[in-house]
Amino acid sequence: MAINLDTHYKLGLQPTDNRTTATDLDYQDATSAADTAVGKNTDTVQLTEYATQLKRIEKQLAQQPDVNQEKIKQIRDAIKHGTYTINLASTVDKMLVLETSVPPK
């Protein structure tokens, strides 16, 4: 008769013990008994409050549309009616910032 010593020791049994050995049990019973005898090893992950907030914000952002349709409608209407104005100073400033932030080739 063969004895699986790994399971035997996992159950906490010594070879001289008179308790039930792993060979007297089927594999699933041995595993279940070992988990009960030793205590299940379970890994847990605990998120920080910051990570939880980020996850919540991520879900909220995922529910938002990629494009602000109302803003687009306002700009289209302003262009259509000739009331759309361009702030040249702001546009030039943004172009200069962009141009200086891109490294030359």
Mean pLDDT of 67-79: 94
pLDDT band, very low/low/confident/very high, at 65 (cuts 50, 70, 90): confident
User: Residue 37 — φ and ψ, nearest 5°?
Assistant: -70, -45
Q: Are the beta carbons of 22 and 11 closer than 8 angstroms?
A: yes
Residue, of 102 and 78, whose pLDDT is higher: 78
6-44 per-position pLDDT tens digit: 554 455 555 554 454 445 445 555 556 555 555 566 788
**Element at 10 (helix H, strand E):** helix 5-10
Distance CA 85, CA 91 (A): 12
More confident residue, 60 or 38: 60
Sequence spans of domains, the chain = 5-38, 49-100
Q: What is the pLDDT of residues 77-88, one digit of tens each?
A: 999 999 999 999
pTM: 0.34
Find, among 45, 11, 48, the residue nearest to 31 by Cα.
11
